[in-house]
Structure 1
Amino acid sequence: MDIKNILLAMLNGAYDSIRGIGTLIYMDKELDNRTRQRLSPSRQSSTIRRRESDLTKEATPVRTLKAHEESKVLKRTIQCSVLNGGIFLASIMLFDYGILPFLNFVLQMIFGENTSTSGTIWSWTRPFLVCIFQAIWVMPLFLLSKCVNCLWFQDIADNAYRYSRGRPQIAEGLSKRIADSIFSIVVQTLFLVQAMLIDYIPIFLIGRIFSCIHLCMLYSLYTFEYKWYNMRWELHRRLTFIETNWPYFIGFGLPMTILTQVSDSWIINGCIFSILFPLFIVSGNEASPVTHTVNFPLSLFSPVIAITNTILNRSIDAANAHMQANAKRR
């Protein structure tokens, strides 16, 4: 095992995760120019035909572009920042560090700072206010942001792929795409649970380091999955590629892992993730992973793949048995 090559691959991954962000500045303009060139009619040698097509040249391509294919990568990225940072995260910070301290100050002013009455009342009032705030504001907005983010992330990923590689290759068969998506969601969820459980290993730093490695690979999967899905890579191929070239993908996911661990609140970390993730989607489409740096895979996904296969197979068997039972009754 060459430690030098592993470290270089990790550094390349970390650099690629940030390097592609600069593409946002000119990506939309370049994509729109390409679309205008594709939509504009070819130049004709005849003067009469050029005059007859003047209106089409001036109006139709621009109108068609605006109506259908105008790139919105930068716009979607800003919208993610406004929704997740300017609204969601800012409201949580305002409640935690503004409203709650102010209400506590008011109680102390009413009952006195040195009395135990204000402390007792606040010990009952604060959890109640937190629960009300989370039920009325945080959870509904969290669910809304997740739904909206999925649409915006997909839009950003498709445009970023179109910029770097051309038109996405749509997988054949709706049922196959649905099955791949369900399998991917289950694997990612179980892998996140696996990362959280490993964090509780009672050995100094061992649990935290391996949990960090899990998150780095998971965030890399999140990022590159849009690109690989558009390339029609199946889930097993995507996971095998990450496990085989794990030094690069650990490095690629490391900045996101560090930035999303700044708070003890998973909601705040989720907001930070949603703000930064569009930038990493663009970086993932621009990146060229460093391969063949190690001779052995880091098979961290194998346990969750086995569990997922067991769950889905049993679900399918149960569904088939239920259908057969209903058929016999009829």
Structure 2
Amino acid sequence: MSNTFQHICLGIVNGFRDNVLGALKVYKMDAKTETEPTKKSEEELTTLARRRAVKKPSKEKENSKERAPRITQRIFLCCAWNGGIFWMSILLFNSVLLPGLQWLTILLAGHSSSVMVWGWIGPVLSWVFSALWILPLFVLTKVVNNFWFQDIADAAYRKSRGRPQLPNISVFIADMVFSLLMQSLFLMQGMIAHFLPIPAVGQVIGVLHMCLLYSLYSFEYKWINMGLEVHQRVSIIEMKWPYFCGFGLPMAILTSLPSSFVVSGCVFSILFPLSIVSANEADENNHRLDYYQLKLFGPVIRISNALFNHSFKGQRSRRSVTTDASNRHGQTSETSTSKR
């Protein structure tokens, strides 16, 4: 029992360490790309491409290198958008604009009258700001972040592991839809477990769910590029859950500190690119610990399979009905033609 507990603690510590230290390898990856020329890419060039490369001026080569964005530049743009524009606008509104308007109201209407006036002006301004600025920008940020996260993950994978495996488009879409449904249900499962009436147990289970979910978010980019399907990815998380619990623990702690859901999303969007790089550089296969497989994803996988299969059967039944109707229509037209 004590040996198993030591293994669990060791896995949590190793995952936490890999997440924190892995983010520091971003600068090494960019420096390695700049200092070491890729011989493999030179060997893969055709004869015509080599002649063009020789004829190409060196100044154009330098400009093309400068135009190629580095991983650090991509991460900086992502952090600048989420922290410098989105989060900063919320802080300025709540800390500068609203207090300034409240002070101006007190100055113009007096202290006694301003209490009643600000009682309905303050909520109206907050609602208008949320509806006209926060909500549209939040949706736009989610869309932009998805492209940035994928771009950062692909760039990190190419620089450290080579070309990603390109799956079939239909298989890739089905895999992503199933993964999104499963992750949404797993998030709901963690929120329900958080409200268990047993003291402290519900909170521990809720934090465990968030840690594993953040680890799945981070490692999923690498595993998809490696060609692993969603059930294989979930099996790795469940088999080595102490390691992935420790890996997602920093993100779970930092995103739980803000009281606002929007601010928590900003913190996640700022830190998540670093977790993607850390997951890409981590070697989770080295952590082979002998403990029981934690099948927390089992219920949501069964529900996702049921919903997925039900929708797929519904599509097949609708297609069969359409096919039967078209066949009947064709038979009817042939009969009427023969009668004529």
Q: TM-score, normalised by structure 2?
A: 0.86
Residues 1:233 and 2:265 are matched in the alignment = no
CA contact (8 A) 1:36 1:61 kept: no
2:280 alignment counterpart: 285
Question: Which range is displaced more, 151-160 or 267-276?
Answer: 151-160
Question: How many Å apart are 1:126 and its aligned residue?
Answer: 2.0
CA contact (8 A) 1:180 1:235 kept: yes
2:240 alignment counterpart: 245
Judged with a 3 Å threshold, the aligned counterparts in structure 2 of structure 1 residues 262 and 110 are, in CA distance, closer, same or farther, namely same
2:7 alignment counterpart: 5
Judged with a 3 Å threshold, the aligned counterparts in structure 2 of structure 1 residues 119 and 237 are, in CA distance, closer, same or farther, namely same
Task: Give the 5 Å matches for 1:113-128.
Answer: 113=111, 115=112, 117-128=113-124
CA distance in 2, matches of 1:324, 1:121: 64
CA distance in 2, matches of 1:288, 1:203: 36
Deviation track 1:37-89 (CA, whole Å, cap 9, x = no partner) reads: 445589xxxxxxx999854483675566567xx35211110001110000000
Query: CA RMSD of the aligned region, Å?
Result: 2.4
2:31 alignment counterpart: 29
Residues 1:197 and 2:195 are matched in the alignment = no
Unaligned runs of 5+ in 1: 43-49
SS at match of 1:204: coil
Q: TM-score, normalised by structure 1?
A: 0.89
1:309 alignment counterpart: 305
Match of 2:138 among 135, 142, 145: 142
Question: How many Å apart are 1:326 and its aligned residue?
Answer: 2.5
SS at match of 1:147: helix
Q: Which amino acid aligns with 1:12?
A: N
Identity %: 41
Judged with a 3 Å threshold, the aligned counterparts in structure 2 of structure 1 residues 161 and 51 are, in CA distance, closer, same or farther, namely closer
Computing the radius of gyration from Cα coordinates, the structure with the larger value is 2
2:79 alignment counterpart: 81
Question: How many Å apart are 1:155 and its aligned residue?
Answer: 1.2
SS at match of 1:161: helix
Judged with a 3 Å threshold, the aligned counterparts in structure 2 of structure 1 residues 200 and 123 are, in CA distance, closer, same or farther, namely farther
Deviation track 1:248-275 (CA, whole Å, cap 9, x = no partner) reads: 0000000011111111111100000100
CA distance in 2, matches of 1:11, 1:164: 24
Question: How many Å apart are 1:200 and its aligned residue?
Answer: 1.6
Deviation track 1:74-122 (CA, whole Å, cap 9, x = no partner) reads: 1110001110000000001111111112222222223322x2x422332
CA distance in 1, matches of 2:207, 2:140: 28
SS at match of 1:242: helix
CA contact (8 A) 1:40 1:57 kept: no
CA distance in 1, matches of 2:89, 2:132: 13
Question: Which range is displaced more, 186-195 or 210-219?
Answer: 186-195
2:203 alignment counterpart: 208
Unaligned runs of 5+ in 2: 45-49, 327-340
